[in-house]
Amino acid sequence: MKTTYAQKVYADAEARAPWEKEFLQAVREVLTSIEPALPDNPQYEANAILERLVEPDRQIKFRVAWVDDAGRTQVNRGYRFEFNNAIGPYKGGLRFHSSVTASILKFLGFEQVFKNSLTGLWMGGGKGGSDFDTHGKSDGEVMRFCQAFMTELYRHIGPDTDVPAGDIGVGGREVGYMYGQYKRIRNEFTGVLTGKGLAFGGSLARTEATGYGLLYYTDEVLKTMMNDSFDGKTVSISGSGNVSIFAAEKTMELGGRVHVLSDSSGYVYDPEGIDLDLIKEIKLVRRGRISDYAKERKGAEYVEGKKVWERPCDIALPCATQNEIEEADAKELIKNGVKLVTEGANMPSTPEAIEAFRSSGVVFGPGKASNAGGVAVSGLEMSQDSQRLAWTFEEVDTRLQGIMKKIVADSLAASNRYGMGNDLLNGANIAGFERVANAMIDQGVY
C-alpha cells in the first residue's frame, strides 16, 4: 500500500527522535485525524505544511539555579517550546512538575497550536516549564525559583511575541512571582503572562475558565448530539487541582453529582456527593492532600493508589494529567455504563483507551477542544490588557460560553464536511489544523 503524506511525515518525525514518546503520540493522533482532509487539499503537501508543523519554530532550554531555605544552591532545567505563530503570538502554559521532560512539553506545545486555533482568537502555540516541583517547597523557595526561571525566560517572551500562562504546578502564586520579575527586568507593565492576579491585569473568570469551559462544551455535546443533560448524572472527575475543582463546581450547578476526586496518591469517594467548599479549603487554602478530605468528611472513603475510573459513572471528565486513562481503565468505564468522556486534562486518554471508547459508542471529546476554555479566557485577558480595561465576570463568562459552543459546532461541521459524521475528535483536529495551515500558506515559506 502506498505511504500517504501524513504517514511519511510521522515516520520522519519518529526516526528523528524515537524517544519522544508523548510528542509522537500527539503527532500521530493529529496526523491520523486530518488525513481524510489531505487528498482534496494538495496545497498542504505542496507547501510542506505538515513537515513544518511538527518542527517547533524555536526550542529553548536553560539552567535554572536558585537558593533553597537551607542556603544550598539547587539546579533545575527550564524550557520553552515556541511552536507556531502563524495566527498570533506563541501562547501556552508553563508546567512545573518533577515529571517534566522535553517530550512532554513538546506534545503540549504541538497540541496548543490546534487548540488555540479552535478558539477563533489570535494566538499561536507554545509551551514551557521546568522539572521543578512545587510540592513541599516554602513560598520563599517558590518565589526564588520563579524569579530565577524568569531571569532567563524574559529575553524570549513579550506581550506580542510569546505569552505564557499556568499549567500543572503553576497557579496564581507562581504567575505573580514570574510577572513581578519580568516587570523588574524590563521596566514595563504589559500583559506578558496570563492568569495574573486581578489587581494587576488579570481577568475575572480566568481561574474558573478551563473547568467551566469543559462543562459548557460537555453540556453542548449532551444537548446537540445526545438530546440529554447533566440532570441527575453521576460524574467522575480525576485530579483536584485548578481544572478539576471548577469542573466539579459547574457540574453541580448544572445538576450533575460529583462523587469522586483524586490526586497522584489516590482518590476519595463520597456517596453523598463531594463537598466542594471542603475541597477548596483543603486544596486551595491549605495546599493539602486529597486524603485529608476523607479524614474530615463523614461517610467519605479514601482509596490509596487507585484511580477514580473503577467507580461506575455516566460521564467521565479526566482533569489530572496525560495518559491517566489507559485501555483497562476505559474498558472498566465502558463496562460500568459510561456514555460520555470529555477531557479536561491534555491527552489524558491513551490511543488504546480512545479506540475502546469510540468502538463502544461512547461519545468522546478530545482535550484540545474540550479544555480550550482556559486559553480562550487567557486570550480575552490579553485583549483586556491591550485595552487597559477590565471586563465583568458575566461578560467574560458569556464570551467563554459562546467560544465553547462554537468549538463543538466547528468540530462537527469539519467532520461532516469530510464524510465522517459527528466525530468530535477528527473534527476538532481538522478545524484547528485548517486555520493554521491556510495562514502559513498565505505568509510564505518560513
CA dist., res. 219 & res. 10, Å (int) = 34
Q: Is 320 in the site for ligand NDP (CB under 6 A)?
A: yes
- Residue environment code for 375-408, b if the CB has 16+ CB neighbours within 10 A, otherwise e: bbbbbbbbebbeeeeebeeeebbebbbebbbbbb
Task: Tell me, letter by letter, the H, E, C secondary structure of the chain.
Answer: CCCCHHHHHHHHHHHHCCCCHHHHHHHHHHHHHHHHHCCCCHHHHHCCHHHHHCCCCEEEEEEEEEECCCCCEEEEEEEEEEEECCCCCEEEEEEECCCCCHHHHHHHHHHHHHHHHHCCCCCCEEEEEECCCCCCCCHHHHHHHHHHHHHHHHHHCECCCEEEECECCECHHHHHHHHHHHHHHHCCCCCCCCCCCHHHCCCCCHHHHHHHHHHHHHHHHHHHHHCCCCCCCEEEECCCCHHHHHHHHHHHHCCCEEEEEEECCEEEECCCCCCHHHHHHHHHHCCCCCHHHHHHCCCCEEEECCCHHHCCCCEEECCCCCCCECHHHHHHHHHCCCCEEECCCCCCECHHHHHHHHHCCCEEECHHHHCCHHHHHHHHHHHHHHHCCCCCHHHHHHHHHHHHHHHHHHHHHHHHHCCCCCCHHHHHHHHHHHHHHHHHHHCCCC
Please state the closest distance from residue 244 (CB atom) to ligand NDP, in A. Answer: 6
Q: Which is nearer to ligand NDP, 38 or 113 (CB)?
A: 113
Q: Is 167 in the site for ligand NDP (CB under 6 A)?
A: yes
Figure out which of the listed residues 89, 164, 166, 202 binds ligand NDP, where binding follows CB under 6 A: 166
127 counts as catalytic: yes
> What residues numbered 238-257 form the site for ligand NDP, per CB under 6 A?
239-244
Please state the closest distance from residue 316 (CB atom) to ligand NDP, in A. Answer: 15
Q: Which is nearer to ligand NDP, 35 or 324 (CB)?
A: 324
Check 91, 106, 115, 127 and give the catalytic one: 127
CA angle 290, 293, 298 (to 5 degrees): 150
**Binding range to ligand NDP, per CB under 6 A, among 5-13, 160-168, 309-317, 399-407:** 160-168
Cell of 323: 495518559
Q: Binding pattern to ligand NDP, positions 194-223, x when CB under 6 A?
A: ----------------x-------------
Q: Which is nearer to ligand NDP, 76 or 242 (CB)?
A: 242
**Binding range to ligand NDP, per CB under 6 A, among 11-19, 166-174, 219-227, 419-427:** 166-174
Q: Which is nearer to ligand NDP, 27 or 345 (CB)?
A: 345
Q: Which is nearer to ligand NDP, 316 or 319 (CB)?
A: 319
Q: Is 345 in the site for ligand NDP (CB under 6 A)?
A: yes
Figure out which of the listed residues 168, 178, 215, 425 binds ligand NDP, where binding follows CB under 6 A: 168
Please state the closest distance from residue 374 (CB atom) to ligand NDP, in A. Answer: 3
Task: Please choose, from the candidates 206, 331, 311, 199, the residue with its C-alpha nearest in 3D space to the C-alpha of residue 262.
Answer: 311
Q: Which is nearer to ligand NDP, 180 or 288 (CB)?
A: 288
Q: Which is nearer to ligand NDP, 89 or 195 (CB)?
A: 195
Task: Please choose, from the candidates 271, 268, 258, 259, the residue with its C-alpha nearest in 3D space to the C-alpha of residue 291.
Answer: 268
Q: Is 374 in the site for ligand NDP (CB under 6 A)?
A: yes
Q: Is 438 in the site for ligand NDP (CB under 6 A)?
A: no
Figure out which of the listed residues 84, 218, 346, 350 binds ligand NDP, where binding follows CB under 6 A: 346
Q: Is 308 in the site for ligand NDP (CB under 6 A)?
A: no
Figure out which of the listed residues 116, 194, 371, 415 binds ligand NDP, where binding follows CB under 6 A: 371
Q: How many residues bind ligand NDP (CB under 6 A)?
A: 23
Q: Binding pattern to ligand NDP, positions 263-302, x when CB under 6 A?
A: xxx-------------------------------------
Please state the closest distance from residue 304 (CB atom) to ligand NDP, in A. Answer: 12
Please state the closest distance from residue 416 (CB atom) to ligand NDP, in A. Answer: 26
In the bound complex, which residue of the shown chain has the CB atom lying closest to ligand NDP? 241
Q: Which is nearer to ligand NDP, 124 or 166 (CB)?
A: 166
Catalytic residues, which ones?
A: 127
Judged by the rule CB under 6 A, the positions of this chain that interact with ligand NDP are 166-169, 210, 239-244, 263-265, 319-321, 324, 344-346, 371, 374
